[in-house]
Structure 1
Amino acid sequence: MKVLTAHPGVFNDDKVIESNISFVPFLNYLKEKVGNGDDARSSFYQLIIDKFESNPDILKPISPDADLSQYKEYLDLLIAAIFPVTTDSSTDIYGMGAPYRFAIFHYSDLFKQLFTSDGKELTTVPDGISLAQVKKDKMTWLYKLILEKVFHFPMNYKNDIIHRVETPDGIKRYVKVNIDARFVDVKVNGSIPHLDYNQFCSKQITPEGLQQLLPTHLFSLEGFVIWTVKDVTQSETLNNIKNLVMNMRANNEVDSYRSLEKMIPTILGIPDITAHMVPFPKVNGKSVLEEQFSNTDPILGIGNKKQQQHFFQLMLEHLQQHPVPLIVPDVNEATINPHPFLKFLPIKNIRSFILCPITHKKEVLGVLELASSVPNRLSAEPLWKLQNAYPLLGLMLSRSMNILENRLNEVIKDQFTALQPAVEWKFVDEAWNYLLTPPEERKDIESISFDEVYPLYGAVDIRNSSVQQGNAIREDLQEQLELIRDTLETIGQTVHLPLLEELQFKTNDLLQHLSNSLQAGEDLKVNEFMDQEIQPVLEHLCEGNETLQPVLENYFKKIDKSEGHVYHHRREYEESLSHVNTAISQYLEKERLYIQQSFPCYFEKYRTDGIEYTIYIGQSIAQEKKFDHLYLRNLRLWQLSSMAHIARLTHKLSPKLKVHLQTTQMILMHSAPITISFRSDERRFDVEGAYNVRYEIIKKRIDKVHIKDTGERLTQPGTIAMVYSYAREMDELKKYIAFLQSKKILLPEIEEVELEELQGVSGLKALRVTVNMEEA
């Protein structure tokens, strides 16, 4: 048998320590066994001893590079003594080699397949481990051996290495390599230092430190080591899954599932299958489907969202009635017909399929799906191998439920409460102090406030939103009345009732008096007419006359609020408004995270016809960081720049909308610090003090303010209006404007205007600039 060695020059083992093959330590081991007399194989051991000792040459050290074929009969005896008769060279993984050296002189067939790349040289570096790490592991193993054999320190010199290998059938598996050194003697060359075990164990010594203390040239090795390799795929993969579950967070949730799905075929020992796992978290007690998991799913990853939800509900109903694996060895029309949610499997070239529910206390947490393009590739048998992994799969799905719950809480906190991270620390401090107080001494937590904070207010409004909405309602009402008129005329040709003529008269009257600009109460009047007079009559006629049924069904279909044609103007307006507000909101949400990086601030955003926001910044909000006015100036520059970006964003979006909408942008400059406190009843911050209230009054009254003596609205599409009270505020704003003009974000002109007096507020002025809509 040829000696397998590492590629020359990889480790230079011969330069680290002298190592030779010797059978003497093995023979000494056998002599101890024979001396005990209790071993039933003593006579066999004595036979081996006699055979070896009959040839003095074989008792001498042998170079690892020597040709061992001349010692075949001795090696056969050696192998027979060490490896049991039940050992199979084609299925078991083992070998024997020179101490420390990567030189294996006896090995099983499977050992050669796994640990050589070409059948000639050892693959010395395990997958995922650096060459430097392997060298360090080898040196650690060597010094543990020296300390035990020479200094008789109680050392655990076993050096197990987990090695990821690919078997001949293409399955990736994990094996644990153990190098047994019981048949190795350590020879001492010259004098060595004395080591005290107690002192040695009192501090940690690295292999590098041991090399200084005990140079390897003082020692040599004689004997041989036994390599045994154990398949630990199941346990190692389970450990990997445990790590996935323990480290899964919201930001790596999908990647964790993808990694898990790659491990499942390894556990099952079936390389040519794919696995997919989908969690079924619950919202308000109902199982829901998250799009991030459904897009690549074999069952749900086809069709639109409505179709996905339909299949999801069908799957849920099946699993609730049959919470056991659904196994379809051969996917064909006959086998999937009883299960409509499997109808798209053939389109995805899936010919063998398993749907396995993961349950806990009779509740379906999610499903594991296994698929293969080969018929009859999957059956019930492999599922037994998932038994040990099943609790971990359930734990991972439960973790997903917690992640979704946290995400929902974050949305609720962001959208409906005021406890943002920038201020939450103070609430946590107050809550902790509350808990530290003995229950009998506790009092309600007083109002939480922040002093000396600077407010920044901005508003993005939809120009003429109320007019646009009124036009949409009027056009829909007109179409609906026309539909009623046409329907009544059609019915009148079949059914002769004076009441129908009277309803036609009322319909025409409402149409004639429907004003061009919708007046208050007109929509209520029309809706009341339709609900109380038209609908009951039509419903009665629909039930009693089959001839009229198609006509009446057409009417009811067209007045459906969700899909009906006569609601399309209102629907188009609402969709366009929602599209604009969502785009603005998403931009501000991204920017909110960005501005927090420079200095903590409270950012409150709320939706009206457009989007308004207030930002508070100051020392009292920052828990640890020192406040400086440069952070305030930086935020004001950001505010002006972001408004320009929003103007460009909505301008670019406008042609894509079903209803043309334009936005106006406004900023309120307020240079004096204010105090804010948390209002528990409204779950939001509000200003404190009479002087500070002036700021709130200005905020609420400038949205439709006019330029003095002109009647012109201050806010105009494509511009940014900046309202201020003092000259120093104007000077600061002009610096920011000049900078953004130099970057071609704003056009060169600046308008300086005075504003009309508002109730309780006077002396307001404003700057107005035009945004350059041509992005550089």
Structure 2
Amino acid sequence: MKVLTAHPGIFNEDKVIESHISFVPFLNFLKEKVAQDGEARSSFYKLIIDKFESNPNILKPIPANTDLSEYKEYLDLLIAAIFPVTTDATKDIYGIGVPFKFAIFHYSDLFKQLFSGNGSELTAVPDGISMAQVKKDKITWLYKLILEKVFHFPMNYKNDIIHTVETPDGGKRYVKVNIDPRFVDVKVNGDLPELNYDLFCSKQITPEALQQILPTSMFSLEGFVIWTVKDVTQSETLNNIKGLVMNMRTSNEVESYAALEKMIPVILGIPDVTAHVVPFPKVNGKNVLEEQFSNTDPILGVGNKKQQQHFFQLLLEHLQANPVPLIIPDVNETAIAPHAFLKYLPIKNIKSFIVFPITHKKEILGVLELASSTPNRLTSDPLWKLQNTYPLLVLMLNRSMNILESRLNEVIKDQFTALQPAVEWKFVDAAWNYLLTPVEDRKDIESISFDEVYPLYGAVDIRNSSVQQGTAIREDLQEQLELIRDTLETVGQTVHLPLLEELQFKTNDLLENLSNSLQAGEDLKVNEFMDQEIEPILRHLCEDNDDLKPLLANYFAKMDKSEGHVYHHRREYEESLATINTAISQYLEKERSYIQQSFPCYFEKYRTDGVEYTIYIGQSIAQEKKFDQLYLRNLRLWQLSSMAHIARLTHQLGPKLKVPLQTTQMILMHSAPITISFRSDERRFDVEGAYNVRYEIIKKRIDKVHVKDTGERLTQPGTIAMVYSYVREMEEFKKYITFLQSKKILMPEIEMLDLEELQGVSGLKALRVKVNMELPVGA
């Protein structure tokens, strides 16, 4: 039998330690067995001992590179003693090798197949392990052997190595290689230094340090090691899945599921199978579908979001009524007819399919789907192999639920919750006082309020946003109706149905009546006509007539996949609006941390058509720092300067927008301090007291206020409007305007305006100044 070795240049093992094949350790082991009373195979062992000792030459060390064919009869006896008679060389994986070296001189056929891909050299480095790690493991193994056999230290060392091997069908299996050194003697060359076991253990001496104390040149090895290999695919894959579950978090959730889906076919041991795991977490008590998991799913990856949600609900209803695996060995029209959610399996070339619900405490957590392109590949037979995997799937899906809850909480905290660092200290105090109160005496937690704080309000609005949105809706409806009209005319030339003429009439009527201003409910009426009358007929004709398929495919290709209608004008409007709002929000988020550096303040930002914000500053918000009016004046100057920056920022975004949108900027000046308190029901701060409510009323009603006696809107693109009630407020802002005009941020002219009376509010005035749009944004 040919000796299998690793490439000689990989490890340079001969330079590490001298190693020879020897049968003496094996014979000594047999002699110990024979000496034991009651050993059942003593006679057999004596025959082996006598046979070996009858040839003194066989007891000498044999160089590792010797041709062992002349020792065949001795090797046969050795194999018969070591391996049981039930061992099958074609099914079992084993070998006998030179100590320390990757050199195997007797091996089973399957061993050679797995560990010698080209038939001449051993695969010495397992998949996923570096060469440096293998060398370190080998030297560690060697020193533990020396310490155990020479110094008689009790060593608890692992002889197992996990290999990843490729199967002929392209799959992966895991095998555990055990290297047994019981038939190895360690020979000593020269005098040994003294080693204290207690000192050795307490210092945890590394192999590198041992090489200084005990050079390997002091030792040589004689004997042989036994390699045994077991298939541990199931246990190793389960361990990998456990690792996925334990390490899964928001940042790697999708990647964790992708890794899991590759492991499940390995556990099943079925080629040509793909697995898909889709979590069905709950939000407000209802199962929901996350797009990141559904896009590539055989059932739910249909492209159209409405249809995807429809299939999801159908699948959910089926699983709730039948919480057992749905097995379709041979996917055909008859087999999937009872299940509408499986409609697209044949189109995706899926010939065999299983839907396996993952449940816990009668709640559906998600599904495992198995698919194959080979008919009858999937049946109920292999599902028992998932019994150990199932609890891990439950854990992983529950983990996804926790991740989603964390993400929801992050959004809520970011978008809705008022607990910013500047005020969080007061909530912590209240919570601590609540915990200090004995349970039996606890009532409602104390209210959170801040007295004598100054409000600063600013609003960036999108000019004519509702008009722009209405125009986008009308243009989309008009385009789709014209597409329907043209499609029906062409279809009518091939299919002669009076109903088509009636639909053409309705389409033309809707087109003629589609008003420029788009009356309320008009879009719903048109959408209902398209969804309930046009789409079903066109789909039926598409499936029933090969000549019409290209025409109708062209029609459906122009529909937005997520909305099911022509939607590109609205999409362009929404993208343009989102671009502006995102730019404003990002700028304000950056500025929020900047303004906190001078004095702690509460900054509340929220979106309407544009972006609005309210800032509160005062002594009661600061836990330790002393408040002074200079911090308030500094913040008001920042407010005016930042509004100018936002005006330039949104102006320069204009050429990049698909729909031209302009912004207006407004500031409300309110010089009197107010009291705010936290409303637990709405999780935000609100003003307290009748006088303070006036401030809130003004905020809500000035967004569309007009200049008195002109009908002109106060807010105009390219300007900043500053609303005030008292002369001292106006005089303060004029100072800031003059300063920013000197820096060329604002244009020279200032408009002094009286405003029309609002319901419940009168006497408002305003300053209005133009922004220098030519100044670069960063200036």
Q: Normalized against structure 2, the TM-score is what?
A: 0.75
Aligned counterpart, 1:377: 377
Structure 2 gaps of 5+ residues are 475-515, 534-566, 724-729, 756-760
- Residue 485 of structure 1 corresponds to which residue in structure 2? none
Q: Counterparts of 1:324 and 1:25 in 2: how far apart (Å)?
A: 59
Deviation at 1:681, TM superposition (A): 6.0
- The verdict on how the C-alpha distance between 1:38 and 1:457 changes in structure 2, with shifts beyond 3 A counting, is farther
CA shift for structure 1 position 765: 4.7
Please name the residue that 2:18 is paired with. 18
| Pairwise CA distance, 1:92 | 1.9
Alpha-carbon distance, 1:713 to partner: 4.7
> Quick one: structure 1 residues 726 and 590, their matched pair in 2 at CA, closer, same or farther if it must change by over 3 Å?
closer
Asked if 2 retains the 8 angstrom alpha-carbon contact of 1:354 and 1:370, the reply is yes
Q: In structure 1, the residue corresponding to 2:753 is in which secondary structure?
A: coil
Shift of 1:212: 2.2
For 1:319-718, what aligned pairs fall within 5 Å after superposition? 319-420=319-420, 424=424, 427-428=427-428, 430-439=430-439, 445-448=445-448, 457-464=457-464, 582-587=578-583, 603-614=603-614, 641-649=645-653, 652-653=656-657, 655=659, 662-666=662-666, 678-680=678-680, 682-686=682-686, 703=703, 713=713, 715-718=715-718
1:769 is aligned to 2:766? no
User: In structure 2, what is the Cα distance between the partners aligned to 1:473 and 1:158?
Assistant: 70
Change (3 A) 1:560 1:379: closer
Q: 1:622 to 1:61 in 2, by over 3 A?
A: farther
CA offsets 1:279-300 (integer angstroms, 9 cap, x no match):
2222333322222222111012
Residue of structure 2 in register with 1:105 after alignment? 105
Q: Which residue is equivalent to 2:758? A: none
Greater alpha carbon shift after TM alignment, 160-169 vs 227-236 = 160-169
What does residue 288 of structure 1 align with?
Answer: 288
CA distance in 2, matches of 1:392, 1:316: 22
Change (3 A) 1:726 1:286: closer
Change (3 A) 1:165 1:328: same
Deviates more, 1:332-341 or 1:642-651: 642-651
1:738-759 CA distance string (max 9 Å, x none): 6xxxxxxxxxx72441443677
Residues 703/110 of structure 1: CA separation in 2 closer, same or farther (3 Å cut): same
The corresponding residue for 2:235 is 235
Match of 1:90 in 2: 90
Which residue of structure 2 aligns with residue 57 of structure 1? 57
1:332 and 1:180, CA in 2 relative to 1: closer, same or farther beyond 3 A? same
Q: Deviations over 1:649-704 (max 9, x none)?
A: 5775463xxxx864323467999999965344653235799999999798667645
- In 1: Cα distance, 2:767 partner to 2:428 partner: 41
Match of 1:756 in 2: 753
Give yes or no for contact 1:186–1:222 (8 Å, CA) kept in 2: yes
| Pairing 1:7–2:7 present | yes
Corresponding position of 1:133: 133
Displacement, 1:143?
1.4
Displacement after TM superposition at 1:90 (Å): 2.4
Question: Which residue of 1 is the match for residue 511 of structure 2?
Answer: none
Name 2:114's counterpart in structure 1: 114
**Further displaced range: 59-68 or 378-387:** 59-68
SS at match of 1:10: helix
Once the two structures are TM-superposed, the CA of residue 116 in structure 1 deviates from its matched residue by 2.5
Aligned to 1:278, the other structure's residue is in SS state strand
Question: Structure 2: how far apart are the matches of 1:598 and 1:274?
Answer: 51
Partner of 2:494: none
Q: What is the distance in 1 between the residues matched to 2:742 and 2:206?
A: 62
Q: How far, CA to CA, are the matches of 2:625 and 2:133 in structure 1?
A: 42
Amino acid at match of 1:392: L
Letter in 2 for 1:215: P
1:217 is aligned to: 217
- Tell whether the 8 Å contact from 2:592 to 2:603 is kept in structure 1 after alignment: no
TM-score, with structure 1 as normaliser? 0.75
Structure 2: distance between partners of 1:261 and 1:391: 15
CA contact (8 A) 1:708 1:754 kept: no
User: CA separation in 2, counterparts of 1:266 and 1:626?
Assistant: 66
Equivalences for residues 275-314 of structure 1 within 5 A: 275-314=275-314
- In structure 2, the CA distance between the partners of 1:341 and 1:662, relative to structure 1 (3 Å rule), is same
User: Is the contact made by 1:605 and 1:611 (CA closer than 8 Å) also made in structure 2?
Assistant: yes
Q: Distance in 2 between matches of 1:226 and 1:461?
A: 79
CA deviation after TM superposition for structure 1 residue 140, in Å: 1.3
**Could you tell me how far 1:258 is from its partner in structure 2?**
1.2
Q: Quick one: structure 1 residues 572 and 109, their matched pair in 2 at CA, closer, same or farther if it must change by over 3 Å?
A: closer
Alpha-carbon distance between aligned partners in 2 of 1:204 and 1:453, rounded to the nearest angstrom: 63
Answer whether contact 1:647 1:664 (CA < 8 A) is retained: no
Count of matched residue positions in the alignment of Structure 1 and Structure 2: 684
Q: Secondary structure at the match of 1:165?
A: strand
SS at match of 1:664: strand
Aligned-pair CA distance for 1:234 = 0.9
Distance 1:774 1:113, change over 3 A: farther
Could you give the per-residue CA deviations for residues 718-776 of structure 1, whole angstroms, max 9, x where no partner exists?
556678834664477569876xxxxxxxxxx7244144367799896554225469999
Q: 1:182 to 1:733 in 2, by over 3 A?
A: farther
In 2: Cα distance, 1:206 partner to 1:736 partner? 68
Give the distance between the partners of 1:376 and 1:471, measured in 2 at CA.
55
Aligned to 1:196: 196
Write the letter of the residue equivalent to 2:215: P
Shift of 1:648: 4.8
Rounded to whole Å, the distance in 1 between the matches of 2:221 and 2:620 is: 70
**1:358–1:366 Cα contact (<8 Å) kept:** yes
Contact 2:718 2:770 in 1 (8 A): no
Q: Contact conserved, 2:163 with 2:175, CA < 8 A, in 1?
A: yes
Instruction: Give distance in 1, aligned partners of 2:581 and 2:702.
Output: 21
Distance 1:99 1:454 in 2: 82
Question: How far is 1:153 from its partner?
Answer: 1.1
CA contact (8 A) 1:164 1:172 kept: yes
**Structure 1 letter corresponding to 2:184:** V
**Match in the other structure for 1:165:** 165
TM-superposed CA distance for 1:344, in Å, is: 0.9
**Hey, what does 2:317 align to over in structure 1?**
317
SS state at 1:756 partner: strand
What SS does the corresponding residue of 2:397 show, helix, strand or coil? helix
Distance 1:203 1:281, change over 3 A: same
Per-residue CA deviations over 1:61-91 (Å, capped at 9, x if unaligned) read 1222222222121111111111112222222
Tell me which amino acid in the other structure corresponds to 2:205.
I
> In structure 2, the residue corresponding to 1:9 is in which secondary structure?
helix
1:597-654 alpha-carbon deviations (Å, 9 max, x no partner): 878785523344533123569999899999999x989999776545544445577546
Q: CA deviation at 1:130?
A: 1.2
* Cross-structure match for 1:498: none
The more displaced of 35-44 and 156-165 is 156-165
Could you tell me which residue of structure 2 aligns to residue 183 of structure 1? 183
Task: Letter of the 1:756 partner, please give it.
Answer: L
User: 2:274 corresponds to which residue?
Assistant: 274
CA distance in 1, matches of 2:89, 2:618: 75
Letter in 2 for 1:372: S
Per-residue CA deviation, residues 513-571 of structure 1 (Å, 9 max, x unaligned), is xxx999xxxx9xx99xxxxxxxxxxxxxxxxxxxxxxxxxx999669799899xxxxx9
Deviations along 1:454-496, one digit per CA (max 9) or x if unpaired, are 977542213356888999999xxxxxxxxxxxxxxxxxxxxxx
8 A contact 2:473–2:569 mirrored in 1: no
Query: Matches of 2:640 and 2:107 in 1, distance apart?
Result: 74
